[in-house]
């Protein structure tokens, strides 16, 4: 689920929002069809403060010998993340924030077609996903955390990303003590959704027309 998302906010605006030091190799924006294995912006908390840096979307466990070894891990289930060997250390020590503008989810049509929906926050603010990161092979990789869907996803999908509010960022980043597990729940934000065209079904598609509303 949530295998694509969009990025529209300038990197300097993101750095200011999170009070983070930006790296020089952040992915360009806007992007309307961010796919797994691409570079995405991630906020981490380090000894010297927060850092906005680029990571590969697709978590690679520490024991992997090759980048493409095993299935592509783009998300981690909140219900089992603390138990899975791939995530046990990361959920304790390497939690991060993954800011996006919106995300796509697909609904099965009556003829088996994949019908895309585009989700954003109704207040217009950036979405911030709870995520985990893992260093591998001289670079860093990341996966978002997902949970059972709330009302905002009803009828489209049974899972959704864990969306964090600004007040929750310090706790998730490990800046405000323990207890981050309680944040892994369905979003308290009001999500709005619109049907968009099937062009986004292709991972090669690009451009703002991908998020244009169509009649459902």
Q: What is the pLDDT of residues 89-138, one digit of tens each?
A: 999 999 999 999 999 999 988 888 899 999 999 998 889 999 999 999 99
Asked if 87 and 144 count as a contact pair (C-beta separation under 8 A), the reply is: no
Per-residue confidence at 67, pLDDT binned at 50, 70, 90?
confident
Asked if residue 17 belongs to a domain, the reply is yes
Share of residues in the chain with pLDDT > 90 (%): 82
Asked if 40 contacts 113 with a C-beta cutoff of 8 angstroms, the reply is: no
pTM for the whole structure = 0.96
pLDDT at residue 176, as a whole number = 94
Query: Tokens 């998730």, residue?
Result: 172
Q: What residue numbers bound the domain in which 148 lies? A: 4-211
pLDDT at 2: 81
Of the candidate ranges 1-5, 53-57, 177-181, 208-212, the one whose mean pLDDT is the lowest: 1-5
Evaluate whether residue 22 is within a structural domain.
yes
Name the most confidently modeled range: 25-29, 46-50, 154-158.
25-29
Q: What is the pLDDT of residues 145-199, one digit of tens each?
A: 999 998 878 779 889 999 999 999 999 999 998 999 999 998 877 899 999 999 9
Q: Where is pLDDT greater, at 154 or 46? A: 46
The secondary structure of residue 125, as a DSSP letter, is P
What is the number of structural domains in the chain?
1
Q: Looking at the domain assignment, is residue 86 inside a domain?
A: yes
Q: Is residue 216 part of a domain?
A: no
Q: What pLDDT shows up at residue 152?
A: 79
How much is the pLDDT for 69? 85
Quote the pLDDT of residue 113.
87
- Omega into 30 within 30° of 0, i.e. cis? yes
CATH of the domain at 26: 3.90.1680.10
User: How far from 156 is each of 12, 33, 108, CA to CA, in Å?
Assistant: 34, 19, 8
**Does residue 29 form part of some domain?**
yes
């Amino acid at each position: 689920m949530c295998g694509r998302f969009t990025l529209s906010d300038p990197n300097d605006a993101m750095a200011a929002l999170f009070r983070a030091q930006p790296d020089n190799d952040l992915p360009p924006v806007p992007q309307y069809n961010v796919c797994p294995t691409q570079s995405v912006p991630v906020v981490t908390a380090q000894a010297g403060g927060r850092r906005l840096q680029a990571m590969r979307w697709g978590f690679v466990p520490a024991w992997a010998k090759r980048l493409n070894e095993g299935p592509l891990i783009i998300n981690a289930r909140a219900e089992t993340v603390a138990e899975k060997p791939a995530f046990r250390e990361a959920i304790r020590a390497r939690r991060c924030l993954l800011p996006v503008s919106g995300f796509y989810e697909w609904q099965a049509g009556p003829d088996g077609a994949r019908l895309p929906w585009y989700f954003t926050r109704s207040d217009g603010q950036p979405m911030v996903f709870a995520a985990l990161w893992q260093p591998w092979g001289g670079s860093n990789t990341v996966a978002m955390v997902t949970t059972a869907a709330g009302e905002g996803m009803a009828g489209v999908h049974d899972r959704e990303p864990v969306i964090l509010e600004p007040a929750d960022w310090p706790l998730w980043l490990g800046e405000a003590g323990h207890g981050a597990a309680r944040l892994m729940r369905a979003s308290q934000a009001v999500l709005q959704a619109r049907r968009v065209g099937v062009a986004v079904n292709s991972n090669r598609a690009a451009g703002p027309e991908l998020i244009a509303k169509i009649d459902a």
